[in-house]
Chain A
Amino acid sequence: MVSRRLLLAIMLLGMCQMGSAQSPTYGVGRTPTAEEIRAWDISISPTGKELPTGHGTAKEGATLYTQKGCAGCHGRSGSGSAAPTLIKSDGTMKSSMPCLSPCVNDNNVMALHSPFATVMWDYISRGMPIGKEGTLTPNEVYALTAFLLYKNNVIKEDEVLDEHSLPNIKMPNRDGFSLPAEEWKHGAPRLSGYP
């Protein structure tokens, strides 16, 4: 009994010293469980490392596009309706909303403009369908992403999207994206030489 208590004391002492440089100052707040973190962590990196296991094809996505009500707001053809354009049209169909933030029109259609397909997966997963966000299963999100990418001529109709293939899709605008030329620094102008 005594020896166990002693051991505990030594262990605690050791932990305190180990963490002294990084230990919390206030000790306010609590440690979330792994499950709590998993439930909230919906960020998807461009590498796709957080993508859940699953798969889907454009054909499955076409059915879901109607079934889940996407067509109701985005239009059966994916353009020219009240909600943002999803499928690039021949240019004659204009969305009734001139511009969203970000602008989702013409070449700004997400499937064409986003440098990474992970952004599409992430957004459908977190933000759609309106009023029922977060209800789509991973398979459904893979299928809807595949459908929109196929309709915008980015992938083939029979291509299976899953957690491995999705991050590797070469998006049309992959080279249209750069990180800032200069890293942000406290007390520095945004861009040297800029007026």
Chain B
Amino acid sequence: MDEKRSRRGFLRNGAALATGLTVGAVRPAEAQTAAAEPHAKDIKELIAYGDRSRFVTAIRVPVSERMSPDMFGLTFHVLTPLQDSVGIITPSSLFYTATHRGAFVPDIDPSEHRLMIHGMVDRPLTFTMDELKRLPYITRVFFVECAGNRAQARHKTVQETHGLTSCAEWVGVPLSLLLKEAGVQNGASWIVAEGAEEVKGGSSLPIAKAMDDCLVAYAMNGEPLRPQQGFPLRLIVPGFEGIHQIKYLRRIKLVDRYYMTYDDYGHINADPKAAALALQIGPKSVITYPSAGQQLSGPGFYEISGLAWSGGGAIRKVEVSTDGGQHWQDAELRSPAYRMAHTRFGAHWKWDGKECVLMSRCTDELGTVQPTRAEVGKFWNDPPDRPRVRGNDNTVQPWKVMSDGSVLNGLA
């Protein structure tokens, strides 16, 4: 008690002293150290659950076409501020959000939550959250990207062109472990995974993927999943479109054919080739600095920074062009290159103050190179002026740097 009191007294005196110095500005000439900064005051940010500095202002924004929440109180698509991103982990508070056809975020008591595995299995099984946590788990970094992450000419920032992708560290039980525990029967070729929210959003996945690297995750970025990310349980399907990463995971049914759920219905393609592009995400990268909406202060040295990721595995190489794709130089990987994870790259650049176009392209472990829109259009025999990207859009993003240092969307 005494010790505590004296500590407090010391701190109070110290603070008074600091204030005195600042207010009075009576500084001896030889004391050239900077004045102490004022203290952060909110007890919450100091003790219980830390907040960021009030000077850090990066926020998510809803997709402009539809307000979130809408008139029904539903949230739809909310974009991650990639222009402010550093490293490869997206803070949970800034992780992009998309819901199955606009759903309410359910308020689930984890002690009541169950996961049921049934259908073409030898032993249907039901797990409580506690039971799932008794099982062997793994920790992995994976991105999640929405299939709607499509850059448009009207987009003004990288948040709008690419903000429907985020990356987190996930902890959970491998789905293959749970399926083996239930005993997969011969002829089970697909699974249907389903959530517990009011629309019970579901998705069909090939059994090969379900037995490969999927994760039944209960934690992200060092804490339980956030409600917007599926608390208490989410199926992570590494490298597949976001709609497959079923939140509030409650049920997995093993079936003998493709079951078309309402959410699968969004992926209807007449062309089997286009349908093949609707599961796994291709190699994709984007420069986050400098990117549209940002301002360069003048000619000189800049470090180009960006993110690369692929549903096909790890990123092997990233190249950067500062002349609209005429010449490419290798960028450096500035983070570990995990499989199906955001990978940070950087490249030195000396800007001469002239108008130019910045681009990046990546190559994944399968050797697949991120294409341009023109290359994709050629594959489909589209008219050259109107290339159309089927499936998820992983094409090269140009940023136009103007001579005044402003940066614009090169698609405009």
Give the shortest distance, in Å, between A102 (CB) and chain B (any CB): 3
Q: Interface readout for A23-39 with B: 1 if CB under 8 Å, 0 if not?
A: 01110111110001100
Q: Contact residue range for chain B?
A: 35 or more
Per DSSP, chain A at the interface is loop
Choice from B65, B253, B271 contacting A99 with Cβ under 8 Å: B65
A-B contact count, CB below 8 Å? 188
- CB-nearest residue of chain A relative to B181? A24
Q: In this assembly, does A13 line the interface, its C-beta being within 8 Å of a C-beta of chain B?
A: no
- Size bin of chain A's contact surface: 35 or more
* Nearest A residue (CB) for B67: A97
Residues of B within 8 A of A188 (CB): 366
Q: How far is the CA of A34 from the CA of B258 in the complex (A)?
A: 24
Check A189–B312 contact: CB distance below 8 A. yes
**Which residue in A19, A24, A118, A180 is a CB contact (below 8 Å) of B278?**
A180
Residues in B neighbouring A19, C-beta threshold 8 A: 122
Complex contact A114–B265 (CB within 8 A): yes
Distance of B233 from chain A, by nearest CB (Å): 14
Q: Determine whether A190 belongs to the interface, using a CB cutoff of 8 Å to chain B.
A: yes
Which residues 256-291 of B sit at the A interface, judged by CB distance below 8 A?
A: 257-263, 265-273, 275-280, 282
Residue interface mask A150-192, B partner, CB < 8 A = 1: 0000000000000000000000010111111111111111110
Q: Which residues of A contact B261 (CB under 8 A)?
A: 43, 119, 122
0/1 interface trace, chain A 53-66, chain B, CB 8 Å (1 if under): 00000000000000
Q: Which of A79-104 contact B (CB under 8 A)?
A: 82-83, 97-103
Q: Given A100-B102, A195-B379 in contact, is the A31-B125 Cβ separation under 8 Å? A: yes
B122, B148, B263, B265 — which one has the most chain A CB atoms within 10 A of its CB?
B265
Nearest B residue (CB) for A39: B116
Give which listed residue, A40, A46, A184, A195, contacts B279 with CB less than 8 A. A184
Asked if B369 lies at the interface with its beta carbon under 8 angstroms from chain A, I say: yes
B348 within 8 A of A: no
In the bound complex, what is the Cα–Cα distance between A83 and B199 (angstroms)? 14
Query: Judging by beta carbons under 8 Å apart, are A110 and B265 in contact?
Result: yes
| B259→A43 contact, CB < 8 A | yes
Say whether A116 faces chain B, with CB atoms less than 8 Å apart.
yes
Q: A36 contacts B116, CB within 8 Å?
A: yes
A186 with B276, Cβ < 8 A, contacts A22-B183, A43-B255, A101-B100 known: no
- List residues of A whose CB falls within 8 A of some B CB: 19, 22, 24-26, 28-32, 36-37, 40-47, 73, 82-83, 97-103, 110, 113-116, 118-119, 122-123, 126-127, 130-131, 133, 173, 175-191, 193-195
